Amino acid sequence: MKRPAPLVVVGDSLLDQDVSGRAERLAPDAPVPVVGGIEHRTRPGGAALAARLAAADGREITFVTALGDDEASQAVRDLLADRVHLVELPLDGPLSRKTRLMADGRPLLRLDEGDGRATGPATGAEKALADAGAVLVADYGRGTADVLREALTARAARVPVVWDPHPAGGPPVPGTRLATPAAAEARHFAGKPAPAAPARPEDHRDVLRQATADARVLLDQWGIASVAVTLGEHGALLSRGGPPLLVPAPWRASGDCCGAGDSFAVAVAGRLADGDLVELAVREAVEAAARFVAAGGAHAVLREAGPADAADTSGDARAIVRRVRERGGTVVAAGGCFDLLHAGHVELLQAARRAGDCLVVCVNSDASVRRRKGGGRPVVPAEDRARVLEALDCVDAVLVFDEDTPERLLDELRPDIWAKGGDYALTDLPETALVESWGGQVVLLPYLDGRSSTRLVERAAGRPGAPTRR
C-alpha cells in the first residue's frame, strides 16, 4: 500500500478537557443537576487535534504552532510526543484551555481560560512551509496564521493549501485550494448576521440555499479556488463558481460532534496531498467525518489510536461492536471475497443482519483472493469491494483481512454469530472450533442457488458457463 504523502499542519493549539459524569438528580439548594461519577479526560484541541488526527492516518506530520512555558502548553507537547514533528512559535500569554462539563454524554457548561497569542520570530516555521508538499491551516484566531501569512501566501501558489477558518481569525490567503467553513462560519464571513433560533427545525432546502449563496460570496471575496461548506448531518456543499456539488452524509451519525470539523479538514487535506481531485477529496472527507462522530468523537478516536498504521481501518468496526455489546445486543459477522456483488450475496447479508443487532463483513484482500481464485482475480480491488458493501443498509462495517481465512479477525471481534451461505452445508469450516470456543455459533443461511462471481466473470469474458437458475 502506498504510504500517504506528508502534510504540514499550521494553526493554534488548544487544550481540551472534559469532566464527565452522570446526572441523576437536582441539587437541593438550586435547580441545577448534580453530576456524579466524575471522569477527567484531556486531549489536544484546535489545530493540535487536527495534527493528531492526521498522524493517526499514518501520515508524516509537521505541526507548526505556538506554545509557551505554561502547564497547558506542556500538556499539549506531551499529548503530541512521538506522533508529529513539532515546530514551535513563541506564545505570548498562557495557552487557551477549554473545559466542558458533561452529563450523560451531553455538555452542560464550558469554561474558557487562557488568551495566549502567537508571536515571532518564525524562521523554523517558514523553513517547514518552504519544504511543504501540502498544507492544512487550522486557524483558531490566536495568531499563528497571521504570523505566517506571507509564507503561507507564497506556498499556496505552488502546493495545495486547505484553510479551516474560524470567526476570530482572518480570511484564507489568496491561492488557497479549498476553504472548509461550517455553515455558521460561512454566514459570518459572508457578512450576514447569525439567524435567531428558529421556531422550527431549519428546512433542508433553506440550509442548501443559504450555504450556496454564502459560498459564492466567499469565492469572490477571498479569491480562492473552492469552498466546501460543511453542513453537519447534511454533509457538505462544494462550490467552485458554477452549480455546487452536494455531498450528502452516508448516514446520520449520532454522538459527540466536537472535532468533526477538524476530522473533515484533515481528511480533505490528506486527499489533496495524495493528489486527488477536490471533488473526490470532499466526498472522502464527508465519510470520514461521519465515521468520526459515529465512533464516539475525539476522545474515542484518540483513545483507540495507537501508533499510526495506514492499513488499520478497523476502528469503526471495533466501536460498533463495543456499543452493541454494551447494550446487550448480538454481534453477527460474515465473510467472503464478494468480488462481483450479486443477488446471492445481498440475500445472504440481509439475512445475516436480521439475525442480530449489527453485521461486520470480513472481506478477503486482493492477495488472499489471488491465492484462492488464481491470477485473474479479483476483478474488483479490495478498496472498491469494501466500499460497495458499506453502501448496503444491512452492513454496519467492513474489515479486510490478508490471511487465507478470517480467523484472526474473528478472534479479535468474537462475534456471537458467524454466518455462512447454505452452499457451505457439506463443508467443514475451519472457523467453527474457534467461534464455538467463546460461546459463539456458526449458522448457515439461505443462499440463492446458481449465483456466482466466477460465473459472472466467465459470462463477461464470453465463455459459456452454467446458466443461472431462476
- In 3D space, the residue among 285, 300, 310, 308 whose CA is nearest the CA of residue 56 turns out to be 308
Q: Measure the CA–CA gap between 35 and 150, rounded to whole angstroms.
A: 48
SS3 68: coil
Q: Measure the CA–CA gap between 73 and 297, rounded to whole angstroms.
A: 23
Sequence-ordered list of residues with C-beta below 8 angstroms from that of 103, at least 6 positions apart, any chain? 20, 21, 22, 23, 33, 35
Per-residue CA distances from 168 to 261, 316, 411 (Å): 16, 33, 49
Per DSSP (E only), the strands in 407-462 are 417-421, 441-445
DSSP β-bridge partners for residue 443: 419
Which are the catalytic amino acids?
262
Please calculate the CA angle 182-388-274 and round it to the nearest 5 degrees.
55
Using left for φ > 0, alpha for ψ between -120 and 50, and beta otherwise, residue 189 falls in alpha
Phi, psi of 338 (to 5 degrees): 50, 45
Kindly tell me the number of DSSP H helices and DSSP E strands found in the chain.
17, 19
Dihedral sign, CA of 44, 49, 53, 59? Answer: negative
Edge-first strand order for the sheet with 236-239 is 117-118, 85-92, 61-67, 7-11, 135-138, 161-164, 178-179, 227-230, 236-239, 245-247
Place of cell 472535532: 259
Q: Measure the CA–CA gap between 51 and 68, rounded to whole angstroms.
A: 18
